[in-house]
Amino acid sequence: MSGRLEIDDLHVRFGRAHILQGVSLTLGNKPLSLVGRNGMGKSTLCHAIMGMVGTHSGQIRLDDQDLVGLNPNRVARKGIALVPQGRRMFPSLSVHEHLTLVARKGDVPWTIERVYETFPRLAERRRNGGNQLSGGEQQMLAISRALLMNPRIVIMDEPSEGLAPVIVDHLVETLKQIAAEGMGVFLVEQNMRVATAVSDTVAVMVTGRIATTMASQALMDDAEAQRRYLGVSHGH
Amino acid sequence: MSLQYALTVTLNGLTLAALYFIVASGFSLIFGLMRTVNMAHGSLYLIGAYVGFAVFDPLYMNDATYSYAWYIAILAGIAAAAIVGIVMQVAFLGWMQGQELRQALVTIGISIIVADQLLANFGGSPFQFFAPDILFGPMEIPFVGRYSTFRVFQIGVAVAVGVGLWLLLNKTRLGIMVRAGVDDRQMLAACGINVPLIAVFVFGLGAALAGFGGVIGATAQPTQLGIDVKFLLTSLVVVIVGGMGSIPGTAIGAILIGVTEQWGQALLPTYSVILTFVIMVAVLAVRPQGIMGRPD
């Protein structure tokens, strides 16, 4: 069961740098992707939602519960899980320990057994350390770590970064499947192809603001918008 | 030099190492794992010894209770040190996480206050616990002859503490949380885990081990004020030599330092004080992360 995440006029400053300059977004039942160039504040937004950075003003609500000012562990308990940029494995823990760390008891959709069924590669490597895995395996583990918290919303920060194309295709299928089961998916991507494949709607971030929200297909078809917002052109 | 002499000196070294291990394993949790600078670790040792003795003395003087006075003293010493440690973490050290200089200064301040308070309330005379009857007196050891039963028991206690800590850190979910927190506190919090609470638990456990060591150490030999500095310094050396946060490393470091100290006193009494630092310098020169430490 997904929740409704509403962000309203959110500002974040680091010292004199004004990173988020009034972000407003709503994530409902359907997956939403956020695209934008490097340094536009996408990761800061993820961290602000999780309570990992302090906010200056604005609101973050999950089903009308205020999340601003909560510690990350409280935000996580409210039902938001993060797959962070760079994956942030725990080098001291084995694959299996990563999973037992977050697994919840009781009647929940995601269990360790189901993770191993979904990602057989992780079962094979269950005794390996978190940083002995390939990039793709680490990403599977980072996603599993989030899924095992059985969140209502999962935030993925640049999950396709550094992965081989064939692994990225597998990732897209996994994300679609997660969303189809009713979990809220907020996908932050630089890879427009991944973003538009996972969600029907794409928000575009430019220097700390949401510049526009448009249909994925419309962004795919609009070379001028791609060049302007993402700096990509199909010429080369 | 006779075989008996060599074995006795070595055994003295190992039993001293056992005491060092109990105290330094607590320091290893606090400083090695949580990276909290705690210059009051020796004070926690003293608090364990003094509070334990305050509980022990009246019980021991009473015929009805003397047989279990020592066990109660152990519990009292552990509880007192753990409570003081938890208060230190909650009131001061928790919110200055990562600020090493500030933590060092605050804990040095606490150690001065604790030393003066102990002097004011308990006086400056040395004291010693009487071990329970089953551990009291000498026992026969092949090739060594008569040797203090309690000091042999100390080795058993250290092994039990080491195995217990290893199991806690490697085989329990709590241990997984502790290790994950060492790697990435913020990410651990984002996994829904209350990291400050884990830190309080670890600090309390480390302090409890210091208090436990205090009662054990004050049973093996007379204890008085001032010994806190020695145990703080030894714990630092043991943890640095063995490797930050590694329980097997702490055991190796404790054995190396304990045995060296005893052999140093036997062979080079004048220079024995500096031998442990020679070992520390040598280890740091060859392996800066310590014998079992992970490179940063």
Q: B165 falls in which pLDDT band (50, 70, 90)?
A: very high
Q: What is the secondary structure of B17-53 as a DSSP string?
A: HHHHHHHHHHHIIIIIIT----TTHHHHHHHHHHHHH
Say whether pLDDT at A186 is over 50: yes
Of residues B176, B179, B195, nearest to A73 (C-beta): B195
Q: Are A98 and A170 in contact (CB under 8 A)?
A: no
- For residue A50, which residues of chain B lie inside 8 Å, CB to CB? 190
User: pLDDT value at position B106?
Assistant: 97
Look at residue B273 in the predicted model and tell me its pLDDT: 82
Phi, psi angle pair for A88, to nearest 5°: 45, 60
Q: What is the pLDDT of residue A233?
A: 53
| CB environment B13-49: b (16+ within 10 A), e (fewer) | bbbbbbbbbbbbbbbbbbbbbbebbbbbbbbbbbbbb
- Report pLDDT for A236: 41
Output the pLDDT for position A1: 59
B102 Cβ contact partners less than 8 Å away, ≥ 6 residues apart:
B96
Distance from CA of B281 to the nearest CA of A (A): 28
Do A100 and B176 count as a contact with CB atoms less than 8 A apart? yes
ipTM: 0.92
Q: Is the pLDDT of residue B26 over 50?
A: yes
Does B192 sit within 8 Å of A77, measured CB to CB?
Answer: yes
Q: Chain A residue with minimal CA distance to B246?
A: A92
Interface contact A177, partner B, CB < 8 A: no
Mean pLDDT, residues B50-65: 94
H helices of B64-148, where? 69-88, 100-122
Residues B77-124 pLDDT 10s: 999 999 999 999 999 999 998 899 999 999 999 999 999 999 999 988
Q: Say how many CB pairs under 8 Å bridge A and B.
A: 58
pTM: 0.89
Instruction: Give B135's DSSP letter.
Output: G
Nearest Cβ partner for B183 among A76, A82, A92: A92
Contact A88 B184 (CB under 8 A): yes
Q: Which class for A161: exposed (0-12), middle (13-18), buried (19 or more C-beta within 10 A)?
A: middle
Residues of A in contact with B187 (CB under 8 A): 84, 88, 90
Task: Report residue B109 as tokens.
Answer: 């301040």
* pLDDT tier for residue A117 given thresholds of 50, 70 and 90: very high
Mean pLDDT over A26-40 rounds to 91
- Name which of A73, A81, A97 is nearest B176 (Cβ-Cβ): A97
Residues in chain B whose Cβ is within 8 Å of chain A: 173, 176-177, 179-180, 182-184, 186-195
Considering only CB atoms, A76 lies closest to which of B173, B177, B192, namely: B192
Q: In whole angstroms, what is the distance from residue A28 CA to residue A186 CA?
A: 10
Q: Would you state the pLDDT for residue A29?
A: 86
Interface test with A, best of B95, B182, B186 (most A CBs within 10 A): B186
Nearest chain B alpha carbon to A155: B190
A90, B180: Cβ pair inside 8 Å? Answer: yes
> Are the C-beta atoms of residues B122 and B224 closer than 8 Å to each other?
no
Contact A72 B186 (CB under 8 A): yes
Residue B293's pLDDT band (boundaries 50, 70, 90)? confident
Q: With an 8 Å Cβ cutoff, are B180 and A73 in contact?
A: no
Q: Place A232 in a pLDDT band, splitting at 50, 70 and 90.
A: low
For residue B88, the distance in angstroms to the closest alpha carbon of chain A comes to 22
Tell me if residue A128 falls in helix, strand or coil: coil
The string of pLDDT tens digits covering residues A65-76 is 999 999 999 999
Q: How many CB atoms lie within 10 A of CB A109?
A: 12
pLDDT value at A235 more than 70: no
Q: How far apart are CA B194 and CA A74, in angstroms?
A: 8
Residue A124, pLDDT above cutoff 90: yes
Question: What does pLDDT average to over chain A?
Answer: 92
